[in-house]
Amino acid sequence: MRQAQYKISIATRGKGIVEFTREVKRWVEGQGIATGLLTLYCRHTSASLLIQENADPDVQTDLLNFFEEIAPENRPYVHDTEGPDDMPAHIRAALTQTSLSIPVVKGAPALGTWQGIYLFEHRSAPHTREVVVHLLGE
Amino acid sequence: MRQAQYKISIATRGKGIVEFTREVKRWVEGQGIATGLLTLYCRHTSASLLIQENADPDVQTDLLNFFEEIAPENRPYVHDTEGPDDMPAHIRAALTQTSLSIPVVKGAPALGTWQGIYLFEHRSAPHTREVVVHLLGE
Amino acid sequence: MRQAQYKISIATRGKGIVEFTREVKRWVEGQGIATGLLTLYCRHTSASLLIQENADPDVQTDLLNFFEEIAPENRPYVHDTEGPDDMPAHIRAALTQTSLSIPVVKGAPALGTWQGIYLFEHRSAPHTREVVVHLLGE
């Protein structure tokens, strides 16, 4: 049984979701681990992780609109010193994922046909986000 | 330290939650692993995983009603080519879980007394859903 | 490769979030595992886990207000025998996390600078909640 770790830096352009499935797959494939467990961990409280459909970009538009409406910027928040987009960002992060666990089968993450791995940026300004990737198996 | 993997197929009857706690427990108990980590992974973007109360079926009714209202079908979505239930399905999947991690203690998943493991089907039509189960321990 | 498990009991004072980052860190540091995977599992369906900002307490106030509004007590629920706060508790648990996976890097959980680990109590009355902690690595 072996372990490997890796830190991915993801540059975002402000609010939106950024797919990084290919980078994760390539890294896993390079580790020579046939069977195992892959963990992704987002080191932020105003960005999060998401498994979503990677076929139709319209899905992403609707998702973003939904999260804009469910936790809108124009609500009165107590915590507003970091800008109107900050508290909604924390709420949207709480509603999605900080960590994801994906079994590795035959040397690759067991993603479904239409599943992509996304970093969900909740702040308006571009940021560099860190995702820690952990792999365990043999 | 050993690993085991297993793929569960779950037949759904359209929208609703389907408990599969017993199947998971039975499989874990058959692996002879006393201490370890169990991971469940849903290979879909319009179905998801949920740990919920398995005592009162009314909880399930209220949960379903809540998700119907929070991401309703009669909202205007850009992505609507796969039917009015498709985009709400993606949103509801984003709000719940794609993966679950459960420690294994004394040969069984460390579920609380009232916790059950559920597949949450978000589409109106019946589907066959795949959950990859991974166990690691000794 | 080694494993360690630990059960944390958290006394809550009713609705609110309780940070237990320090206790988790201290336990992990005492295990002598440099590289690994940490899993936290909440054994309840009316309390959940959350990674959130630990810098400004106002964030917690806004988070609580948000969850009060999105799944309010004064909605008609079918499941109401355990009090008006019970069904909203199940919904809020479904919208947040039952399990969290955090890689361990250099002997410590790979939390971001502002990230804290919280138990989210959704019931009005004080409870004692159990979180199972699992560590795997070497």
pLDDT in tens, C115-130: 999 999 999 999 999 9
Tell me which H or E stretch contains C89: helix C86-95
DSSP B28-82: HHTTT-SSEEEEEEE--SSEEEEEEE-S-HHHHHHHHHHHHHHS-TTS--S--TT
- For A58-107, what is each residue's pLDDT tens digit? 999 999 999 999 999 999 999 988 999 999 999 999 999 999 999 999 99
Token pair listed for C86: 């019970």
pLDDT tens series, chain B, 138 aa: 999 999 999 999 999 999 999 999 999 999 999 999 999 999 999 999 999 998 888 999 999 999 999 999 999 999 988 999 999 999 999 999 999 999 999 999 999 999 999 999 999 999 999 999 999 999
Compute the mean pLDDT over every residue in chain C, rounded to the nearest whole number: 96
**For residue C56, what pLDDT is reported?**
87
CB neighbourhood size of A68 (10 A): 13
- Helices A86-95 & C57-70 angle (0-180, nearest 10): 60
**Least CB–CB distance from A66: residue in B3, B44, B91:** B91
When scoring A3, A8, A69, A120 by the number of chain C Cβ atoms within 10 A, the one with the most, hence best to mutate, is: A3
* Nearest-neighbour CA in chain C from B83: distance (Å): 25
Tell me the Cα Rg of chain C: 16
Please list every residue in chain B whose beta carbon sits closer than 8 Å to the beta carbon of residue A37.
Answer: 37, 39, 134, 136
Q: What percent of chain C has pLDDT over 70?
A: 100
Chain A interface residues (partner B, CB cutoff 8 A):
1, 35-37, 50-53, 56, 58-59, 61-63, 66, 70, 95-97, 100-103, 105, 110-115, 136-138
Specify the pLDDT at position A74: 92
Question: Contact, C24 vs C109, CB < 8 A?
Answer: yes
Residue B84: the pLDDT is 95
Segment holding C99, helix H or strand E: strand C99-105
Question: CA A109 to CA B128: how far, in whole Å?
Answer: 21
Question: Is the whole-model pTM more than 0.95?
Answer: yes
Report which residue type is found at B63.
L
In this predicted model, what pLDDT tens digit does every residue of C60-110 receive, in sequence order? Answer: 999 999 999 999 999 999 998 899 999 999 999 999 999 999 999 999 999
What's the confidence (pLDDT) of residue A73? 95
Q: Is the pLDDT of residue A16 over 90?
A: yes
Contact (CB, 8 A) for B132 and B30? no
- Contact list in A for residue B138 (CB cut-off 8 A) is none
